[in-house]
C-alpha cells in the first residue's frame, strides 16, 4: 500500500479540506526525502538533559468557518496578506511557564514546511476544530510507545487531527534517533572488527615468528647433528691414525734394533781390525826401540802403570755408573711410554664415552624440543579456532546489522517515492489554488467571524500545548530510560573490552612464555656448542701431547744413540789401554829376564867397552810418547 493511499481524504469533505490533505501529503513526501540528506550535526548525548532531536512541534493549520466561505492567506512568517488578518505570532503561555508562539514551531521536514511563503491555503472548520476531549483521545491512543513503525502507522493515522501529525513527527524523530543509534553501534562494531583484525594480524605475526624460530631450531638441530657426525668421523680418523702410528712405531723400532745389531757387529769387526793393526804397529816400533829405551822408560812405565791402574779403576767405576744410569733411564722410559700409552688409551676411551653421552643428551633434548613444538602447535590450533569463532560471530552480527540497514533504506526509499508523488500532487493543487485566490479575496468580509473562530482555536491550541508538554515529560522519561539502557550497554561493552584485554594479556603472556622457552633452548644449544668446543680443544690438547711425546721419544732415541756412540768410543779406548798394558807387561817380563844377563855382561866387560848411550832425536821421543798414550 502506497503512502499516498494512506493519506487519501475521506469522501464528503469540502474543497479546502481536500487541498489541505494534498498539501500534507506533499510535505510528508518532502520530509521523507530529507531524512537521509538532512541529519542533525550533534549526536545524541547520553548524559545531557536535552536532545537536539526533540524540538518544538510544527504549526497547525487554522480552519475557516464553513458558512461564510472566506479565504485566509497564510505565509511562512505567520502573517496574513491584509491588515485584517489574524495575528498568530502572539505568545501562548502553557503550563509551568512554558512560552511559545505559533511562529516558533519548526517545519515538519526541516527544510520545507506546511506553509511556504506566498502560499494561501483555504481551510474548512469541519475537521480542524478539535476539542479537548478529542485531544485527550488522540494523546491516549497515539503515545510514542504505542505507535507502530513504518507504513502501518500512516495507514491507521487520522491526518485530520493535528495531534496525530505531531505524533507522526515524534515518531520520525525517534526513528531518526534509532538510525543514529544503529549507525553508532555499527561504527563501534566496525572499530571492534578492526581491533580484532589487528589482533589477528599480531597473532599471525607471532605465529610466523614462532614458525621461523622453529625452522631456525630445526636448522640448528641439523647443523649440530652434522657437527656430531663430523666429530665422530674425526674421532674415527684419529683412532685409525693412532693405530697406524703405533704400527709404524713398532716397525721402526724393529728396524732400529736390526740396524743397531748390524752396526754393533760392524763396529766390533772394525775395532778388531784396528786393534790388530795397532798391535802390529806397536810391536814393530817396540821391537825397534826396545833395547834403547828400557832403562829410561822403566820408571816412567812404573809411574804410568800406577796412573793407568787408577784411571782404569775410575773408568770402571764410571762405566758401572753409566750402565746403571742407562738401565735406570731405559726402565723409566719404558715405564713412561707404557704409562703414556695406557693414559692415552684411557683418555681416548673417556673422550669417546663423553662424546656418546653428549650425543645421547642431545638426542634427549631434541625429543623434548619436538614434544614442546607439538604442544605449541596444539595451542596455536586452539587459538586459531577461537579466532575463527570470534570472526564468525562478528560476521554474523555484521550481516544482521547490514540486513537491518538495508530494510531501513528500503523503507526510506518507499517514503521518498511517496513524497515525490505528494510533491507532484501539491504542484497541481498550487495551480488550482492560484486560480482560487481571487475567490478568496472576495471573502475578506468573513474574516471577523474567522477571528472569533481563530480565538476558539487558540484556546484549543493552548490545550494542545498542555498535552504536548505532558508528552514532552513522557518523552523525557523515555529519554532517561534510553540513557539508562545506554549506560548499561556501555558497562557491558566495557566488560567485554576488559575480557578482550584479559584475553590479549593472556595471549601476550603465552607468547612471552614461548619466547622464554625459545631463549632457554638457545641457551641450551649454546651450552652444547660450548661443550663441543671444549671437546675439540681437549682433542687438540691430546694430539699436541701425543706429538710432544713423539718428539720426546725421538729426543730420547738421539740421546740413547749418543750414549751408544760414547760407550763404543770408551770401549775402544779401554781396548787400546788393555793392549798397551799387555805390551808393557810383555816388555817388563822381557826386560826382567834380560836384566841378569846385562848385569853379568856389565860386570865382565871393561869401561871403554861400554857403548855410549845414543841420544834420540826429538821426533822419535814425540813418537814414542804418542805410542805410549795410545796414538798411532
What would the mean pLDDT of 474-483 be, rounded to a whole number?
82
pLDDT tens-digit series, residues 59-94:
434 343 334 333 333 333 433 333 333 333 343 344
pLDDT at res. 76 = 35
Question: In the Cβ-directed half-sphere of 184, how many Cα atoms lie within 13 Å?
Answer: 14
pLDDT at res. 526 = 81
Task: Work out the pLDDT band at 210, boundaries 50, 70, 90.
Answer: confident
For the chain, state the CA radius of gyration.
69
SS (H, E, C) 507-561: HHHHHHHHHHHHHHHHHHHHHHHHHHHHHHHHHHHHHHHHHHHHHHHHHHHHHHH
pLDDT at res. 101 = 35
User: What is the CB neighbour count within 10 angstroms for residue 504?
Assistant: 14
What would the mean pLDDT of 600-605 be, rounded to a whole number?
68
Extract the runs of DSSP E, i.e. beta strands, from 164-258.
none
pLDDT at res. 415 = 75
Task: Work out the pLDDT band at 197, boundaries 50, 70, 90.
Answer: confident
The CA-atom distances, in angstroms, between 453 and each of 15, 38, 450, 569 are 19, 37, 5, 166
pLDDT at res. 133 = 37
Q: Is the pLDDT of residue 340 over 60?
A: yes
pLDDT at res. 218 = 84
pLDDT at res. 352 = 67
Task: Work out the pLDDT band at 437, boundaries 50, 70, 90.
Answer: low
Task: Work out the pLDDT band at 365, boundaries 50, 70, 90.
Answer: confident
Task: Work out the pLDDT band at 116, boundaries 50, 70, 90.
Answer: very low
pLDDT at res. 60 = 38
Alpha-carbon distance of 234 to 539, in angstroms, equals: 10
What would the mean pLDDT of 522-529 be, rounded to a whole number?
79
**pLDDT cut 70: percent of the chain above it:** 65
Q: Is the pLDDT of residue 570 over 80?
A: yes
pLDDT tens-digit series, residues 264-308:
888 887 788 778 777 767 776 765 676 676 667 666 767 777 777
Q: Is the pLDDT of residue 222 over 60?
A: yes
In this predicted structure, which of 252-256, 414-418, 430-434 has the lowest mean pLDDT?
430-434
Query: Where do we find the cell 730420547?
Result: 556
pLDDT at res. 152 = 59
Cβ-in-10-Å burial (0-12, 13-18, 19+) of 615 comes to exposed
Q: Is the pLDDT of residue 610 over 50?
A: no
pTM greater than the 0.85 cutoff: no
SS (H, E, C) 313-358: HHHHHHHHHHHHHHHHHHHHHHHHHHHHHHHHHHHHHHHHHHHHHH
Polymer length in residues for the chain: 632
C-alpha cell at 20: 489541505
Q: Is the pLDDT of residue 602 over 60?
A: yes
DSSP-derived 3-state class of residue 369: helix
| Closest CA relative to residue 66, chosen from 442, 430, 432, 449 | 449
User: What is the CB neighbour count within 10 angstroms for residue 600?
Assistant: 10
Alpha-carbon distance of 249 to 344, in angstroms, equals: 15
pLDDT at res. 604 = 61
What would the mean pLDDT of 404-416 be, rounded to a whole number?
77
pLDDT at res. 547 = 84
Question: In the Cβ-directed half-sphere of 496, how many Cα atoms lie within 13 Å?
Answer: 11
Encode 292-301: b = buried (16+ Cβ within 10 Å), e = exposed: ebbeebeeeb
Domain map (residue ranges) of the chain = 3-195+401-511
pLDDT tens-digit series, residues 19-39:
766 776 776 676 666 654 444
Amino acid at each position: 500500500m502506497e503512502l499516498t493511499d494512506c493519506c487519501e481524504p475521506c469522501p464528503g469533505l469540502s474543497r479546502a479540506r481536500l487541498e489541505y490533505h494534498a498539501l500534507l501529503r506533499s510535505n510528508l513526501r518532502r520530509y521523507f526525502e530529507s531524512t537521509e540528506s538532512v541529519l542533525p550535526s550533534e549526536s545524541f548525548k547520553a548524559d545531557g538533559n536535552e536532545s537536539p532531536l526533540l524540538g518544538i512541534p510544527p504549526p497547525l493549520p487554522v480552519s475557516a468557518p464553513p458558512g461564510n466561505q472566506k479565504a485566509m492567506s497564510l505565509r511562512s512568517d505567520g502573517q496574513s496578506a491584509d491588515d485584517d488578518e489574524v495575528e498568530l505570532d502572539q505568545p501562548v503561555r502553557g503550563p509551568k511557564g512554558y512560552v511559545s508562539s505559533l511562529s516558533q514551531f519548526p517545519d515538519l521536514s526541516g527544510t520545507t514546511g506546511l506553509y511556504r511563503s506566498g502560499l494561501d491555503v483555504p481551510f474548512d472548520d469541519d475537521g480542524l476544530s478539535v476539542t479537548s476531549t478529542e485531544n485527550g483521545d488522540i494523546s491516549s491512543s497515539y503515545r510514542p510507545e504505542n505507535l507502530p513503525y513504518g507504513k502501518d502507522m500512516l495507514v491507521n493515522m487520522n491526518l485530520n487531527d493535528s495531534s496525530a501529525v505531531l505524533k507522526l513527527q515524534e515518531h520520525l524523530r525517534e526513528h531518526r534517533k534509532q538510525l543514529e543509534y544503529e549507525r553508532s553501534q555499527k561504527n563501534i562494531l566496525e572499530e571492534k572488527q578492526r581491533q580484532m583484525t589487528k589482533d589477528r594480524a599480531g597473532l599471525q605475526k607471532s605465529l610466523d615468528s614462532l614458525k621461523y624460530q622453529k625452522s631456525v631450531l630445526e636448522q640448528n638441530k641439523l647443523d649440530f647433528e652434522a657437527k656430531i657426525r663430523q666429530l665422530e668421523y674425526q674421532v674415527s680418523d684419529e683412532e685409525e691414525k693412532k693405530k697406524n702410528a703405533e704400527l709404524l712405531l713398532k716397525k721402526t723400532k724393529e728396524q732400529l734394533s736390526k740396524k743397531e745389531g748390524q752396526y754393533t757387529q760392524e763396529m766390533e769387526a772394525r775395532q778388531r781390525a784396528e786393534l790388530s793393526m795397532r798391535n802390529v804397529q806397536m810391536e814393530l816400533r817396540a821391537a825397534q826401540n826396545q833395547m834403547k829405551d828400557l832403562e829410561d822408560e822403566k820408571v816412567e812405565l812404573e809411574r804410568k802403570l800406577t796412573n793407568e791402574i787408577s784411571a782404569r779403576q775410575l773408568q770402571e767405576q764410571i762405566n758401572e755408573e753409566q750402565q746403571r744410569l742407562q738401565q735406570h733411564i731405559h726402565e723409566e722410559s719404558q715405564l713412561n711410554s707404557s704409562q703414556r700409552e695406557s693414559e692415552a688409551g684411557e683418555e681416548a676411551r673417556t673422550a669417546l664415552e663423553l662424546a656418546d653421552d653428549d650425543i645421547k643428551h642431545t638426542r634427549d633434548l631434541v625429543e623434548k624440543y619436538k614434544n614442546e613444538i607439538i604442544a605449541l602447535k596444539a595451542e596455536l590450533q586452539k587459538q586459531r579456532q577461537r579466532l575463527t569463532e570470534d570472526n564468525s560471530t562478528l560476521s554474523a552480527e555484521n550481516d544482521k546489522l547490514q540486513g537491518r540497514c538495508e530494510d531501513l533504506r528500503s523503507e526510506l526509499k518507499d517514503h521518498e517515492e511517496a513524497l515525490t508523488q505528494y510533491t507532484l500532487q501539491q504542484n497541481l493543487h498550487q495551480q488550482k489554488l492560484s486560480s482560487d485566490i481571487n475567490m478568496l479575496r472576495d471573502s475578506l468580509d468573513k474574516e471577523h467571524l474567522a477571528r472569533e473562530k481563530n480565538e476558539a482555536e487558540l484556546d484549543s491550541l493552548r490545550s494542545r500545548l498542555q498535552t504536548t508538554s505532558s508528552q514532552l515529560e513522557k518523552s523525557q522519561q523515555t529519554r532517561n530510560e534510553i540513557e539508562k539502557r545506554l549506560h548499561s550497554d556501555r558497562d557491558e561493552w566495557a566488560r567485554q573490552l576488559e575480557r578482550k584485554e584479559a584475553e590479549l594479556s593472556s595471549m601476550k603472556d603465552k607468547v612471552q612464555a614461548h619466547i622464554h622457552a625459545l631463549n632457554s633452548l638457545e641457551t641450551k644449544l649454546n651450552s652444547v656448542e660450548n661443550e663441543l668446543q671444549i671437546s675439540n680443544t681437549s682433542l687438540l690438547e691430546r694430539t699436541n701431547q701425543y706429538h710432544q711425546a713423539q718428539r720426546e721419544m725421538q729426543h730420547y732415541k738421539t740421546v740413547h744413540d749418543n750414549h751408544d756412540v760414547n760407550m763404543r768410543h770408551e770401549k775402544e779406548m779401554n781396548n787400546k789401554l788393555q793392549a798397551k798394558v799387555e805390551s808393557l807387561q810383555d816388555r817388563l817380563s822381557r826386560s826382567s829376564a834380560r836384566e841378569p844377563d846385562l848385569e853379568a855382561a856389565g860386570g865382565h866387560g871393561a869401561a871403554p867397552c861400554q857403548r855410549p848411550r845414543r841420544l834420540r832425536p826429538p821426533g822419535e821421543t814425540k813418537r814414542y810418547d804418542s805410542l805410549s798414550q795410545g796414538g798411532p
